[in-house]
């Protein structure tokens, strides 16, 4: 009887351990899938341009380019959503998100058809709060709002749609003068704190958005 009990306990332990392993794998898989599902909630603007200056010591970077109207409006909407759903249950969150999206619909529609301004210099600093992440643009899942220009969604490069790529973080030192980038930042009066840099490494990207 004792032998049977021990055998049963051993079997139960094996099942429990296996279930734990499968659960852990599932968590890892989900985490990988959602790695780039959202950007830092501090971001309230996006700009695109060519890197003209970078200084690792002062932790600053300058581009010549333009603010992206639609991506900026979208970031501001997401920032408001993030701020207003804290502490709400699932039903309340869904209702609040729907309410905010409805309120932003006309602003997004206006931004969708807004012309890009003339190219100007934008200087960004490493964030005082939080951290800076740098990725290749093709490593980020399809986000049509990032590619919206003057009423049309710019084609997302085939590799960004179809390739199974392992996302990796780049270092600031991986960037160089002349790189084409998109930067998500917290716009300020004195400084613009950058939280995300997406390096547009593909020729198609560079051809689609020439500097003005």
Tell me: the pLDDT tens digits for 189-203?
888 999 999 998 654
CB 200 within 8 A of CB 180: yes
Question: What pLDDT, in 10s, does the model give residues 135-156?
Answer: 998 887 667 777 777 644 454 4
pTM: 0.72
What is the distance between the alpha carbons of residues 209 and 159, in angstroms, rounded to a whole number? Answer: 17
Lowest mean pLDDT segment, chosen from 9-18, 23-32, 61-70: 23-32
What is the distance between the alpha carbons of residues 52 and 65, in angstroms, rounded to a whole number? Answer: 10
Q: Distance from CA of residue 68 to its chain's centroid?
A: 15
What is the distance between the alpha carbons of residues 158 and 138, in angstroms, rounded to a whole number? Answer: 9
Q: Distance from CA of residue 85 to its chain's centroid?
A: 19
């Amino acid at each position: 009887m004792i032998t049977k009990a021990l055998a049963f306990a051993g079997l139960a332990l094996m099942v429990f351990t296996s279930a734990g392993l499968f659960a852990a794998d599932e968590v890892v898989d989900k985490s990988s899938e959602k790695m780039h599902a959202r950007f830092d909630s501090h971001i309230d603007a996006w700009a695109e341009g060519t890197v003209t200056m970078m200084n690792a010591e002062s932790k600053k970077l300058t581009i010549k380019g333009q603010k992206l109207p639609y991506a900026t409006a979208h970031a501001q909407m997401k920032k408001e959503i993030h701020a207003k759903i804290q502490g709400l249950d699932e039903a309340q969150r869904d209702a609040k998100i729907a309410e905010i999206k409805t309120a932003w619909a006309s602003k997004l529609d206006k931004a969708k058809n807004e012309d890009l301004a003339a190219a100007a210099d934008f200087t960004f600093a490493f964030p005082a709060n939080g951290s800076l992440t740098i990725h290749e643009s093709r490593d980020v899942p399809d986000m049509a709002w990032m590619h919206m220009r003057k009423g049309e969604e710019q084609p997302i490069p085939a590799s960004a749609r179809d390739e199974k790529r392992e996302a990796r973080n780049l270092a600031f030192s991986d960037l160089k003068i002349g790189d084409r980038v998109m930067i998500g930042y917290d716009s300020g009066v004195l400084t613009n704190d950058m939280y995300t840099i997406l390096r547009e490494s593909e020729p198609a990207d560079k051809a689609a958005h020439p500097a003005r």
